């Protein structure tokens, strides 16, 4: 065997692959790089990432869901309209599958305190929510200043994030069928641009 010929061939192939990669590039599957210095919960901006625990004890990170329409439902366990909204969650999540993620963040339990793990499990079970995350939040994630937290001026309040991780819409209160219409409109409006 001519080791020099094999070595020269390997070097040439490696250089050709490097050249091809630099000319044609490669597409990264990673989502947008956003940090706490260039994000806000204001329409038109990239929302700030967060991590909360779901009803199954698993971590939920917002930016793990880049490429999907994300519905953030800020609710309270004592709120009647929030309970009505919860009745639609599982149906919508199953109907639209991996195109959306419907996230319920409970801010308060029935005693106006931050919900416990038992509270979020109880909420998920009561409304048959199995495939969508129900998260335990608190008043610390809400604020009238979008640079600090999520705006909340009605129960429930919905924040819609598009496939490109842009905060596109905020809806106050619950109206039957409105969330599905919002999902459809956002799916139709997806240009695929990043």
Q: What is the pLDDT of residue 60?
A: 96
Note down pLDDT in tens along the chain; length 194 residues: 566 666 576 557 555 555 554 444 433 344 445 554 678 899 999 999 999 999 999 999 999 999 999 999 999 999 999 999 999 999 999 999 999 999 999 999 999 999 999 999 999 999 999 999 999 999 999 988 888 889 999 999 999 999 999 999 999 999 999 999 999 999 987 544 44
Structure tokens at 16: 């050709």
Q: What is the pLDDT of residue 160?
A: 97
HEC sequence for the chain: CCHHHHHHHHHHHHHHHHHHHHHHCCCCCCCCCCCCCCCCCCCCCCCCCCEEEECCCCEEEHHHHCCCEEEEEEEECCCHHHHHHHHHHHHHHHHHHHHEEEEEEEEECCCCCCCCHHHHHHHHHHCCCCCCCEEECCHHHECCCCCCCECCCCCCEEEEECCCCCEEEEEECCCCCHHHHHHHHHHHCCCCCC
Q: What is the pLDDT of residue 35?
A: 52
């Amino acid at each position: 065997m001519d080791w020099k010929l094999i070595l020269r061939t390997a070097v040439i192939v490696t250089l050709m692959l490097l050249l091809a990669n630099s000319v044609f590039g490669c597409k990264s599957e990673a989502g947008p790089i956003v940090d706490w210095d260039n994000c806000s919960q204001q329409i038109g901006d990239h929302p700030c990432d967060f991590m909360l625990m779901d009803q199954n004890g698993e971590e939920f990170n917002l930016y793990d869901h880049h490429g999907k329409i994300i519905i953030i439902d800020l609710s309270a366990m004592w709120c009647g309209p929030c309970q009505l909204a919860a009745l639609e969650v599982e149906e919508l999540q199953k109907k639209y599958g991996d195109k959306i993620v419907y996230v319920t963040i409970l801010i308060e339990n029935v005693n106006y305190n931050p919900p416990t793990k038992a509270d979020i499990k109880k909420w998920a079970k009561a409304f048959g929510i199995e495939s969508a995350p129900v998260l335990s939040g608190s008043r610390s994630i809400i604020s009238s200043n979008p640079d600090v937290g999520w705006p909340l001026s009605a129960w429930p309040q919905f924040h819609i994030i598009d496939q490109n991780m842009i905060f596109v819409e905020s809806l106050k209160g619950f109206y039957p069928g409105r969330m599905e219409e919002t999902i459809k409109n956002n799916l139709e409006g997806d240009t695929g641009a990043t």
